[in-house]
Structure 1
């Protein structure tokens, strides 16, 4: 039996827009996030999905709903939400400025930006 999975990130949220760290903290989709989700739905509308899975965060549920709304078979698609599919919890940094978080984390590897930190971690075999 072959299983095909399609992965879609949630649409842009207000915390994304304002460059804030967002893991477990939730934020509504922006107009752009809503449009991006609708566009993803249009691109996936002909896929005969059996089920849809998302985290239990509002942004993920809304994105999945907007995507499935474009599918003519959406009445037959079962949708599941699981807390286990949430993004990583960022603890102290939740809601903070994203650049400040990467500067703080970067001190550990002598880098100051997200791209430099991730490149250093990948180069050192620590994975990303």
Structure 2
């Protein structure tokens, strides 16, 4: 199999203001644009056979910069790579959602750092289902909803990695979102755990080793630009 490089989008206005994005969108900040440009330099010498991107604006903008050194490659947008849908909390302050969700799991969201590993120790379904259950309008996704689309996305991405390996054509690049990136990696590499969420423009590369997928640590260098 070719390597698959999973990337979280660059910094956005909502990231800076501490608002939940989900399926709504906000533009990259100036720093986010610099992060995305740094990602493009990082990927310039990486042979790429295919690229897949969430269909939301912030991921598309990040992907455009990431492929600066690969003008021949046209990324494939996948709705299945969207962030978790947060229902009525879309665009609201992070604490408005995460405080009750953490409390439902016997944890405190504040003071920081929040115990994300503790809340997700048994997987993401219980967290996502809590969001759905607490959503006053009932539009937030369930764990089953997210699992279904993550499974569909991975089928496409892994198939592309297989074709790339057969043709010795290069790696696969995927640009997506923070929470759903955790879902993707947990599905592909069940034993993989994050100490915290992947930072903006963080890269997690996975490779096929001894009959299963293995994940490297998070490369946060592109997100550390001033």
Q: TM-score, normalised to structure 1's length?
A: 0.86
Aligned pairs, how many? 121
What's 1:109 paired with?
Answer: 105
What's 1:46 paired with?
Answer: 45
Query: What's the RMSD between the two structures over aligned residues?
Result: 1.5
CA offsets per residue over residues 69-128 of structure 1, 9 Å max, x none?
1x1xx2321211111110110111111110221112122123221723541441xxx224
2:67 paired with 1:68: yes
Which 5+ residue runs of structure 2 have no aligned equivalent?
125-226
What's 2:80 paired with?
Answer: 84
Classify the secondary structure of the residue corresponding to 1:6.
strand
Runs of 4+ with >4 A deviation: none
How far apart, in 2, do the equivalents of 1:8 and 1:121 lie?
Answer: 20
What's 2:7 paired with?
Answer: 8
What's 1:35 paired with?
Answer: 34
CA offsets per residue over residues 18-72 of structure 1, 9 Å max, x none?
0001110111100111111111111111011112110100000000001111x1x
- In terms of fraction of residues, the more strand-rich structure is 2
How far apart, in 1, do the equivalents of 2:6 and 2:51 lie?
Answer: 10
What's 2:19 paired with?
Answer: 20
Which 5+ residue runs of structure 1 have no aligned equivalent?
none
How far apart, in 2, do the equivalents of 1:40 and 1:9 lie?
Answer: 11
Distance 1:105 1:44, change over 3 A: same
Q: TM-score, normalised to structure 2's length?
A: 0.51
Conserved 8 A contact 1:40-1:67: yes
2:97 paired with 1:94: no
